[in-house]
Amino acid sequence: MATNARQRLLDAAEKLFYAEGIQAVGLERLLADSGVGRASFYRHFASKDDLVVTMLSNYDQAYRTWLTERTTALGGTPIAAFDALIEHAKTSGFRGCAFINAIAEVAEPDSQIRAMANQHKEAVADYLRLLLAEAGYPDDTDLARQLLLLMDGAAVTELYERSDRAARQAKTMALALLDR
């Protein structure tokens, strides 16, 4: 476990919020699991929402690095991104998309958490657009968004089905979109 209090809080938040949900995990639980005191928490974060936004920002960077590395290792094509999603869905700790999960819990349309989720989705769509361009497809923002929609739909479906079936179906649908 990390020795610095801020990192311990972020690590505990990522683990607990992803596994159980943001609203389900209270501050007392975060403090207990991280081993950090209340005063230390408030030295690092103004509120639980501030912790969530920081945690999601870190998760965004880690997820996009993972997606880029796995997609490259699996061939570097837009379809390889779906292969990475299939792999991810097979992991025992898979609980869907952390950003979709977060915005499902946030009612305020202009919250920082929702803004962070939107930024993440825009960055993933931009990455898919780049993959499409590198594969010889025209610079098509709409097609990249369609692929992202398939990925997001698969992540949500996998959450309740507990299998990689939806990701495999999304890959098949993506292939059909790209063959048009």
pLDDT at 81: 94
CA dist 92 → 17, 96, 144, 163, 164 (Å):
16, 11, 28, 10, 11
Residue written as token pair 């991810």: 88
Distance, CA of 65 to CA of 4 (rounded, Å): 24
Dig out the tokens for 131 from the structure: 């993959």
Cα torsion 56, 109, 127, 152: sign: positive
pLDDT at 3: 60
AA identity, residue 34: S
- Among candidate residues 15, 19, 37, the one with its CA nearest the CA of residue 28: 37
Distance, CA of 89 to CA of 167 (rounded, Å): 7
Domain coordinates of the chain in residue numbers? 1-45, 48-179
pLDDT at 1: 44
Does the domain at 1-45 match CATH 1.10.10.60? Answer given as yes
CB 81 within 8 Å of CB 155: no
Contacts of 41 (CB under 8 A, 6+ apart): 5, 9, 27, 30, 31, 51
pTM of this structure: 0.85
Residue written as token pair 């699996």: 74
For the chain (length 180 residues), average pLDDT per consecutive 10? 79 90 91 92 91 91 93 95 88 78 83 89 95 87 93 87 85 92
Tell me the CATH class for 48-179.
mainly alpha
pLDDT at 2: 46
- Among candidate residues 89, 39, 97, 86, the one with its CA nearest the CA of residue 63: 97
